[in-house]
Structures are given as structure tokens and as C-alpha cells.
Amino acid sequence: MFYKDKFARWLIIITLFLRLCALGYVLWFNPLGTALFTFPDSPHYTYAAQTLLEQGSLLDAGTQAPLTFRPPGYPVFLALVWALCGQQDAAVAFWQILLSTALIALCYQAARAFLSQLAARGAAVLCALSTVYWAYSFAYLSDILFAFFITAYLLCALLYIKAPKNTLLLGASTLLAAAVFVRPVGYNVFFISILFLLVLHYKSGWKQATVKIACFILPFLLFTGAWQLRNWKETGYKGFHSSAAYNLYYWNLDSVARAHNLPAQEGSRLLTQALPKDFTSWPLSRQDQWFKQQAKPMILKYWPEKLLRVPYWMAKTLLGGSYTHLSRVFLGRPPLTQEEFNYQLNKTAPLPTKNLKTGADWGLLALCFAQTLLTAALALAGAFLIWQRRNLRPYLLFTGIYILYFWGISSTFFGAGGRYRAPFESALCILGGAALAAAWEAIKKKSQRPAR
């Protein structure tokens, strides 16, 4: 266990101390103050949290209707923090710092499920250095909470591969449901997990495989089904969330803008203008149907150019160091306008050249890039090393599929970037820990060789 390892304990304590010092700097010395916590998506969460506290109901910021566009996980988290500590930005950052630091312990334990203690320490170090977990501890965004729950699920899954106990399946299912309540992008992991269970247990017979799958399915369906029942009773909408079709429609915004010789961000305005005049008064199911009908021909039209851009988007997700937000946290700049801030978050250029003006700017950018490049390179090397050991291949296959899913689904639009690496950053750290351990052992052996 991580708490029995002195190295892991001190790493967690030091990281927590440094992050709390960064919070203190933001509160008392940073010229931007806690205004930097707010992102374009933030009101969707904060408004729902406020209405939950004040009216006992989660309401959407735009329509004032019962919340369906976003799942309730992060607004409920905010409401709990505010109920305990008062409606303070510092309180939210404090609890998110605790969660991002707890990710170090989860990474350590997940690596320890199938790797050495040295590899687990390496995974913990990489997690502690993660620019994504540093940056988004200071934001009204769901990334840290989602990363915590989905990494806890990953830990249960890896422990289950080691010792297939039903209690671990129940725990993994519950944690996955919690993650999906924060960000529905995790929903497909449910089906991936079922397929993996089938592969893992098909030799044991259908009876045992069915019992195992039932143990995994039931908690997840119980929790997510309860929210769908709430949606149906309050709004007549039977789905888990109503943003899927919306995202499918706006996924084409960069291609639409390019067809009109406009910047990518202008595509959102063009697509919004194309909505029917009374669209917001339609039932959600009818809105979904319209979005899908409009999205289908655009997808068929623009898929070739989308496909050409996927490698670049995937590189942005894998190597994006969250520099824009970290420059606001640590350097207190730039004090961007809303338009400029949106550009920096969704920039199509590889570097934020508009705001690289001082040595400190370039130095922070270099550190961000070094961290992401090192983690990605070590993860690739670690995967290669683990594959050499046949008994560890099931762990690698599951972790690899997990990484590829989140990496792929987060890298299919022009706004792909480092923020969307948060769900699989912990998995990269786990694989990277194996490479760090191998490198350390090689250095030790070389240093112990007698001089000739």
C-alpha cells in the first residue's frame, strides 16, 4: 500500500504542500486572482450547483429547465463543497487539489497491482509532475473529479485482473458510474469492460462469465438508470444526457468555417444561426433528432478532411501541456479577453505565439512540453517492456485499450488539447513507471560494475 512506502508518503505530502502554496499565491498575489478559475464551460456547472443549494433542483444555466445537457456529478460536487465551506473559490480549489494529489496514490496502487514497487514509485512521480493535474485543480471544470473517479475505476479493474473477486467488479462498476455522472465520455468504457470480461472468462464457461458480467452491469445500470428515470419524469427526455446529438452537430464547426473562409471559431456562430427560430422551445427528443439529421450529411461531406487532421489533433491531446492555464496560475498573465481566451483554449496553431513574450513564458512552455513528451515517451517504452512478459499482457491490453479509447475520443475535433488527456494521463504514468524502473535498474547495474 502507498501509505506503507515512505517514498510515496513524502511525495504525496510534498506535492500537496506545493499545490497549496500555489493556491496561496493565486489568492494573495496573483493579479488575476480567482477569476482565472472561470472557463467558458464553467457557468453550466456553477449555476446548476447554485440552484441545487437554493432551490433543491439542478437547473440548466441557459434554459432554466431541469438539467439534462450536463450530467449532475460536478454540480453536485460543487454544491457539497459550498455547503461545507461556503461559496468560495478557494474551497473548490482546495478540494480539487486534494483529489489531484490523491491521484498520485491511485497511480501508485494501480501500478503496484502488476508491477514492482520501483515502477509504482516511478508512476507516482510522473503523476505528481503532471501539468494537466496541476493546471485544472484551479478551474471550475470537471476534469479533476472525472480523472479521480475514472482512475479509481482503472485501479479496481487492474486489481480484478490480478484477483477476480466479485467485490472488485461491484466497486469498478460503481466508480465507473460515478465517473459517467461527471463526464458522459466515460459511458463507452462500460461496454469495453463487458467485452474484456467476456474475453477474460470465456474459458471458465458461460455460467461463470454471466455471473461476473451481471456483477459488473447491475450497479452501473442501477445508478445511471435512476438519472434517466429522473430525466424522463421531469422533462420527458429518456436519455442519460442531451449533449450527445448537440456535440455531433457542432463537431463540424471548423469544417463549416473553412468552407466559408472564416476562422474555425466562427463555425459555431454559423451553425447556431442555422437553428430553427423556435428550436429552444422544442422537446429535447425532437432537438436531438434535428441535430442528428443535420449532422449526418456534414459528417459524410467533411470526413476526408477530418481524417487528415486526426494525427495533429491526437498530437495536441497527447503533448498539450496546458500551458495557457498554467501561465495564468503561475505568471498571472495574460489577462485575456473572453474572445482571446477562447482562442487560446481552442487554438489551431501548435504554439500560443501571441503570448510568448518573456523568458518566463518560454521557460514555462518548455517545462510543460518536457513533461508531456517525457511521460508519453516513457509510456511507450513501458508498454514495450511490459509486453515482453507474457503474464503481464492482460494488464497491458486493458490499460492500452483504456488509453486508446480516451485518447481517440478526445482527439476528434479542432479544440483537442492537453486538458482532454486528464482521464488517461494516470494510465500513461503507470506505463511510464515501468520504463523508469527499468532505466533505474540499468543505471544501478552499470554503476556497480567493477572498473577495469
- Over residues 430-449, the pLDDT tens digits come to 999 999 999 988 888 887 77
- Give the separation between CA 145 and CA 141, rounded to whole angstroms: 9
DSSP string covering 218-264, please? HHHHHHHHHHHHHHHHHHS--SS-S-HHHHHHHTTHHHHHHHTT--T
Considering the entire predicted model, what is its pTM? 0.93
Q: For 208, phi and psi rounded to 5 degrees? A: -65, -40
Q: Return d(Cα 251, Cα 244) in angstroms, integer.
A: 10
The single residue listed with the C-alpha cell 501509505 is: 3
Taking the CB of residue 380, how many other CB atoms lie within 10 A of it?
14
Cell of 49: 450547483
User: Torsion angle, CA of 60/345/308/351, rounded to 10 degrees?
Assistant: 180
- Grid cell at residue 317: 491531446
Count other C-beta atoms under 10 Å from residue 353's C-beta: 9
The pLDDT tens digits along the chain (452 residues) read: 878 889 999 999 999 999 999 999 999 999 989 989 998 889 999 999 999 999 999 999 888 889 999 999 999 999 999 999 999 999 999 999 999 999 999 999 999 999 999 999 999 999 999 999 999 999 999 999 999 999 999 999 999 999 999 999 999 999 999 999 999 999 999 999 999 999 888 877 788 888 899 999 999 999 999 999 999 999 889 889 988 888 889 888 888 888 888 877 788 889 999 899 889 889 999 999 999 999 999 989 988 888 888 888 898 899 888 888 899 999 987 655 666 555 555 555 666 666 788 889 899 999 999 999 999 999 999 999 999 999 999 999 999 999 999 999 988 877 788 889 999 999 999 999 999 999 988 888 887 776 55
Amino acid at residue number 57: S
Q: In the 8-state DSSP scheme, what is residue 141? A: S
* Helix orientation angle between 117-129 and 6-28, rounded to the nearest 10 degrees: 0
124, 104 in Cβ contact below 8 A?
Answer: yes
